[in-house]
Amino acid sequence: MGRIQGKVAVITGGASGIGLAAAKLFAAEGAKVVIGDLKPEQAEAAAAEITADGGTAIGLAVDAMDEASLTGLVDAAVSTFGALHIMCNHVGGSNPRKDLDLLRLDMDEFDRTMKLNVRSTVVGSRAALPHIIAAGGGSIINTASVGGLSGDFLQVSYGTAKAAVIRLTEYMATQYGAQNVRCNSIAPGAIMTPALRDNLPEEAIESIRGHNALPYIGAAEDIAQAMLYLASEESRYVTGQCLVVDGGMSSHSSIAEDRRSLLPDTPGQ
Average pLDDT over residues 111-133: 98
Q: How far apart (Å, rounded) are the C-alpha atoms in residues 143 and 121? A: 9
The full set of domain ranges for the chain reads: 8-243
- Residue 112: is its pLDDT beyond 80? yes
Q: How confident is the model at residue 202, as a pLDDT?
A: 81
Confidence tier at 127 by pLDDT (50, 70, 90): very high
Average pLDDT over residues 95-108: 95
Q: Global pTM?
A: 0.94
- Each residue's pLDDT tens digit, 252-264: 887 887 777 787 8
Quick one: which of 91, 79, 95, 77 has its CA closest to 42? 91
Q: How confident is the model at residue 1, as a pLDDT?
A: 82
Average pLDDT over residues 226-239: 98
Q: How confident is the model at residue 207, as a pLDDT?
A: 78
Neighbours of 174 (CB within 10 A): 12
Q: How confident is the model at residue 268, as a pLDDT?
A: 60
- Residue 160: is its pLDDT beyond 60? yes
Q: How far apart (Å, rounded) are the C-alpha atoms in residues 24 and 221? A: 10
Q: How confident is the model at residue 143, as a pLDDT?
A: 98
Q: Given 158, 171, 176, 229, which residue is catalytic? A: 158
The topology (CATH level 3) of 8-243 is Rossmann fold (3.40.50)
Decide if 242 contacts 150 (C-beta within 8 A).
no
Per the annotation, the verdict on 158 as an active-site residue is yes
- Each residue's pLDDT tens digit, 179-198: 999 999 999 998 988 777 77
- Residue 72: is its pLDDT beyond 90? yes
Higher confidence at residue 138 or residue 250? 138
| Gap between the terminal Cα atoms of the chain | 48
Q: How far apart (Å, rounded) are the C-alpha atoms in residues 189 and 191? A: 6
Is 49 exposed, middle or buried (CB count within 10 Å of its CB: 0-12, 13-18, 19+)? middle
Average pLDDT over residues 54-72: 98
Rounded to the nearest integer, the mean pLDDT of the chain is 94
